[in-house]
Chain A
Amino acid sequence: MEQSKLVLKTKVTTLLKSPYIQYGLFAVLLSILPMLQEIGILKSSEITILGSVMVYSIAALGLNLLLGYSGLASLGTAGFMGLAAYTTAYFVQDLGLPYIVAFIVSIIIPLAIGIIVGFISLRIEGMYLAIGTLIVAEILLKSFTQFSDITGGGIGKPMGYPNIAILGQLTKNQTFTLVAIVLVIFMILTYNIVRGRTGRALMAMRGSESAAQAMGINILKYRLITFGFATIFAAAAGVMWISFLPRIYPNDWGLTVSLNILAIIVIGGLKSIWGTLLGSFIVIGVPNLILKNIPIIGNIPGIPNIFTGLMIVLVIMYYPYGLIYIGHDVKKWYRYIKNYIQKLTNKKNNIDEVGK
């Protein structure tokens, strides 16, 4: 009896350690949130904030593939998100095409540009590459402002919640679930990319490009793959953004959003999927959900930005691997203290024995 219980326990723990099960549980957890709103525990505005946390997480996962796993900095994320969002809105709202078709097209168009950026990345690297992608984003941003026929200019472009063929018109809470499902799909995708041949190649390239080349890794191919994936992630985030939030403006896609996404992965933890989610919650969720409700501080304008900025600076300076590793460190400290106390007690016991 005892033994079978133990076996069951180990089975459950191994099962829980499997990332797919974890992601599945996470999806279930996320889809409970809209139900909580319907009961009245969560406010509708809080659902909106949590939804944008998830949208940001999707884009940040893509940037994590670039910066975390392959060491390529990019500041063009917001531009690609905007391109995808506007494409979706244009196809659904103006041309009346089905949502799924619009989704696919709005991923393919940014992907083409992303691959061109991949070619650029072969020639320049480090911060030069970041500036190069910043230029690409700036070109896109200028175009959004200029094409006011399609983008609506300063008035903004509305789309409304998506109407999917089988499911029909979605409500806000159903769209939230849709975003959650997309997020979990992309988490699984990231996990597979990173654990597979591509991920190993990327990490080799990150360590030393020349060494990677000597080992027979095709740099051109993997650079293009990385940029392609990062763009797909950003584009999906853009599509989810326009699906979940009511209206988009050209200024939504400026440098600030790119910086926020960068902040997310730096604060949460490079090279970590859960870290990205944590970072996204800290950067987007905490200022809006928690800081705004604190009595005196909440009324001061600009507090969220100061919080995020200081977090970036402090985390980089004093905790360079990201906040996700804090649990790991706490365990280490706990073990260290436990050992220390044990040593002390042992010593005392020894002394007692000698005394006897």
Chain B
Amino acid sequence: MYGHLPLFDGGYKMSTLLQLLFSGLEIGSIYALATLGIMLIFRTSSVTNFAQGIIGMFGGFVAAAFIMGAYNLTIIMVDNNITLPQNERWIVVFVLAFLLWYISNLVIKHTTLNKWWKLFLPIGIGVVISMVIYFILPAIWDTVARQLIIANSLADTAFISIVIGSDLTETVIKVFTVPDSSRMIFTYVIATLVLLMLGQTLHKKKFEAWKAYGISGGIGFVYILIQVIIGNNIWSVTLLALTTAIIVGLLIDYFVIRRAQKVNPLAKQIITMGIVIVFLGITPMLFEKVLVGADPISIPKFFPSGAINIAGASLSINSLFNIIVGLIILAFLFWFLQKTKWGLAVRVTASNPQTARMMGVPVKLVTLGSWAIAAMLATLAAIMYAPNVGILTPGYMTSIQVIAFVACIFGGFQTFHGPVLASYILAVVRNLLIFYGATILNFFLIRVQPDFGSIWGEQILYILILVLVIFRPYGLIGKKIVKKV
């Protein structure tokens, strides 16, 4: 009944162990990215971010939608068989565009700029505006075109042609329906006009308008080049998803977290749970096209094939890439936190926001920045994790979220490096428990079935961590917080 036991089956082979270590490290780097995001937000704005996973999910869905060709916004494609639009999506898009414009104006009005922000803010605003112009406005054109064609097909043509003459009608319909190239020109003309208008507004605020103008135009041009030359592939889509993540992070901090400073600490976390529910609603709304479509939603790997052999264990290029990217980003962020002036600002804010503000640290900008970075980290983790899941659902990052929290508790909330270390440990130990669970128990003469590990491994890991929490409530590397009565 108990079959072969891996212990006597050569289960301790070096190659198997290495294999488990590699996959552990790959998943571990995904966990670590998510965990570091949670830690950044926790330390700078004292919020336990329950929305980290869902922000990542949103980014992942943006990537998936573009890579599956549901939205191909730079070169607008109107289907031959047009049906009535299911909803008024363009209203949402329009409101979003307006909000972005409003925010950029507010940022300009309310920030006293030092040397660096004079350089970086135009670039940031430029990115945002160019996103609006090159990705969202075309979506509106797309919908308008659909409406016109529908109007046409609904025999309104007769009426329109009586009113404005048949030639003009045809021209209008042509402009909206003709294939790619001329529509792109049309979009470009409108985009340039909007940019010009914006440049004027910025100039009035004594701002270096030409920089924003130039850079946003440039970025938009680069986006279009990327789209035209290499199309919707995983790299360009990742770039797009990361940009979206920045915007999402900024919006959340600016509109919600910053305004909730006086709310009691427990309620603050519940706000992030509210954000989770909002995103669970927004996702099916924006990505209805993908969710309803016949193909399952998925994101491919960065490197679809190829593997290298290390001491009998095979390590796919994609895993290697994920491990290295994770390590590089973590190394960069730790260097940034420890060695740069802005990193110092983050650490100061983390230790005491009030004092930091008094010392002249721009606390608001620091929290804004950490939300943007955390959202980017979450999205990167989501895109890296997606091939492991296969078919994506709006809840696919929940497990990562839970494990990231476990890592935070395990590593202790007081340091940045504790949770990151803990997430690597968790991933490797989880793999080992799943594979060797039965063997270990058999070693202690407890007879269990060989598939014990794969069924119970994860639960046992969680129980172990709960036990650890009872004995060391502040985690592996945490310090005890002295409470004042």
A contacts, CB < 8 Å to B = 67, 71, 73, 119-120, 123-124, 126-128, 130-132, 134-136, 138-139, 142-143, 146, 208, 210-211, 254-256, 259-260, 262-263, 266, 296, 299-313, 316-317, 320
Say yes or no: A263-B266 contact (C-beta < 8 A), given A134-B405, A138-B402.
no
Where chain A touches its partner, the secondary structure class is: helix
Q: Give the residue name and chain of the A residue nearest to B279 (CB).
A: A309
- The 0/1 profile, CB within 8 Å of A marked 1, for residues 208-226 of chain B is 0000000000000000000
Alpha-carbon separation in the docked complex, A82 to B263 (Å): 32
Number of A-B contacts (CB under 8 A): 141
* Residue pair B466, A135 in contact (C-beta under 8 Å): yes
In the complex, what residues of B have CB within 8 A of residue A142's CB? 458-459
* Residue pair B398, A312 in contact (C-beta under 8 Å): no
Partner of B269, one of A127, A143, A255: A127
Q: Give the residue name and chain of the A residue nearest to B278 (CB).
A: A309
* Residue pair B281, A305 in contact (C-beta under 8 Å): yes
B69 at the interface (CB under 8 A from A): no
Rounded to whole Å, the gap between the CB of A347 and the closest CB of chain B is: 37
Alpha-carbon separation in the docked complex, A308 to B278 (Å): 7
Q: Which of B264, B270, B395, B398 has the most CB of A within 10 A?
A: B270
Partner of A254, one of B277, B395, B455: B395
Rounded to whole Å, the gap between the CB of A140 and the closest CB of chain B is: 9
Partner of A306, one of B256, B282, B456: B282
In the complex, what residues of B have CB within 8 A of residue A126's CB? 265-266
* Residue pair B459, A312 in contact (C-beta under 8 Å): no
B406 at the interface (CB under 8 A from A): yes
Q: Which of A71, A127, A136, A146 has the most CB of B within 10 A?
A: A127
Rounded to whole Å, the gap between the CB of A200 and the closest CB of chain B is: 20
Say yes or no: A263-B273 contact (C-beta < 8 A), given A131-B405, A131-B409, A313-B256.
yes
B284 at the interface (CB under 8 A from A): yes
Partner of B285, one of A124, A255, A306, A308: A306
* Residue pair B278, A306 in contact (C-beta under 8 Å): yes
* Residue pair A309, B259 in contact (C-beta under 8 Å): no
* Residue pair A139, B462 in contact (C-beta under 8 Å): yes
Q: Which residues 253-296 in B have Cβ within 8 Å of A in the complex?
A: 256, 259-260, 263-267, 269-271, 273-285, 288, 291
Rounded to whole Å, the gap between the CB of B396 and the closest CB of chain A is: 12
Q: Give the residue name and chain of the A residue nearest to B413 (CB).
A: A128
* Residue pair A309, B275 in contact (C-beta under 8 Å): yes
Rounded to whole Å, the gap between the CB of B274 and the closest CB of chain A is: 3
Alpha-carbon separation in the docked complex, A136 to B281 (Å): 26
In the complex, what residues of A have CB within 8 A of residue B281's CB? 302-309
Say yes or no: A301-B288 contact (C-beta < 8 A), given A132-B409, A210-B485, A317-B260.
yes
* Residue pair B409, A256 in contact (C-beta under 8 Å): no
* Residue pair A309, B274 in contact (C-beta under 8 Å): yes
In the complex, what residues of B have CB within 8 A of residue A299's CB? 86-87
In the complex, what residues of B have CB within 8 A of residue A296's CB? 88
* Residue pair B266, A120 in contact (C-beta under 8 Å): no
B429 at the interface (CB under 8 A from A): no
Say yes or no: A305-B266 contact (C-beta < 8 A), given A254-B395, A255-B398, A312-B271.
no
Alpha-carbon separation in the docked complex, A255 to B271 (Å): 15
* Residue pair B278, A310 in contact (C-beta under 8 Å): yes
* Residue pair A305, B459 in contact (C-beta under 8 Å): no
Alpha-carbon separation in the docked complex, A303 to B288 (Å): 13
In the complex, what residues of B have CB within 8 A of residue A320's CB? 263-264, 267
Alpha-carbon separation in the docked complex, A306 to B284 (Å): 11
Rounded to whole Å, the gap between the CB of A294 and the closest CB of chain B is: 13
Partner of A135, one of B260, B274, B462: B462
In the complex, what residues of B have CB within 8 A of residue A208's CB? 485
* Residue pair B463, A139 in contact (C-beta under 8 Å): yes
Q: Which residues 75-133 in B have Cβ within 8 Å of A in the complex?
A: 86-88
In the complex, what residues of A have CB within 8 A of residue B473's CB? 123-124, 128
Partner of B459, one of A73, A124, A143: A143
B470 at the interface (CB under 8 A from A): yes
B327 at the interface (CB under 8 A from A): no
Rounded to whole Å, the gap between the CB of B282 and the closest CB of chain A is: 6
B408 at the interface (CB under 8 A from A): yes
In the complex, what residues of A have CB within 8 A of residue B274's CB? 263, 308-313, 316
* Residue pair B465, A135 in contact (C-beta under 8 Å): yes
In the complex, what residues of A have CB within 8 A of residue B402's CB? 134-135, 138, 255
B48 at the interface (CB under 8 A from A): yes
In the complex, what residues of A have CB within 8 A of residue B408's CB? 131
B140 at the interface (CB under 8 A from A): no
In the complex, what residues of B have CB within 8 A of residue A210's CB? 485
* Residue pair B263, A316 in contact (C-beta under 8 Å): yes
Alpha-carbon separation in the docked complex, A302 to B286 (Å): 9
In the complex, what residues of A have CB within 8 A of residue B266's CB? 67, 71, 73, 126-127
* Residue pair A139, B284 in contact (C-beta under 8 Å): no
Rounded to whole Å, the gap between the CB of B2 and the closest CB of chain A is: 19
* Residue pair A263, B277 in contact (C-beta under 8 Å): yes
In the complex, what residues of B have CB within 8 A of residue A307's CB? 281
Alpha-carbon separation in the docked complex, A139 to B459 (Å): 5
* Residue pair A312, B270 in contact (C-beta under 8 Å): yes
Rounded to whole Å, the gap between the CB of B45 and the closest CB of chain A is: 13
B469 at the interface (CB under 8 A from A): yes
- The 0/1 profile, CB within 8 Å of A marked 1, for residues 449-472 of chain B is 000000110110011011001100
* Residue pair B282, A259 in contact (C-beta under 8 Å): no
In the complex, what residues of B have CB within 8 A of residue A131's CB? 48, 405-406, 408-409
* Residue pair B256, A302 in contact (C-beta under 8 Å): no
Alpha-carbon separation in the docked complex, A316 to B275 (Å): 12
Partner of A313, one of B86, B269, B271, B280: B271
Rounded to whole Å, the gap between the CB of B34 and the closest CB of chain A is: 14
Rounded to whole Å, the gap between the CB of A298 and the closest CB of chain B is: 10
Alpha-carbon separation in the docked complex, A304 to B281 (Å): 7
In the complex, what residues of B have CB within 8 A of residue A300's CB? 87-88, 285
In the complex, what residues of A have CB within 8 A of residue B395's CB? 254-256
Q: Which residues 133-149 in B have Cβ within 8 Å of A in the complex?
A: none
Q: Closest 9 A-B residue pairs measured CB to CB?
A: A305-B281, A312-B274, A309-B278, A309-B277, A306-B281, A302-B281, A302-B284, A313-B274, A301-B284
* Residue pair B273, A259 in contact (C-beta under 8 Å): yes
Say yes or no: A309-B280 contact (C-beta < 8 A), given A130-B269, A296-B88, A316-B260.
yes
Alpha-carbon separation in the docked complex, A266 to B277 (Å): 14
Question: Given A302-B285, A316-B271, 6 other A-B contacts at CB below 8 A?
Answer: A67-B266, A128-B409, A139-B459, A263-B273, A312-B274, A313-B271
Say yes or no: A132-B466 contact (C-beta < 8 A), given A123-B473, A146-B455, A308-B277.
yes
Partner of A316, one of B270, B276, B291, B485: B270
23 residue pairs from A and B, CB less than 8 Å apart = A73-B266, A123-B473, A127-B266, A132-B409, A142-B459, A208-B485, A210-B485, A256-B277, A262-B270, A263-B273, A266-B267, A300-B88, A302-B280, A304-B281, A305-B277, A305-B281, A306-B281, A307-B281, A309-B275, A312-B274, A313-B274, A313-B278, A320-B263
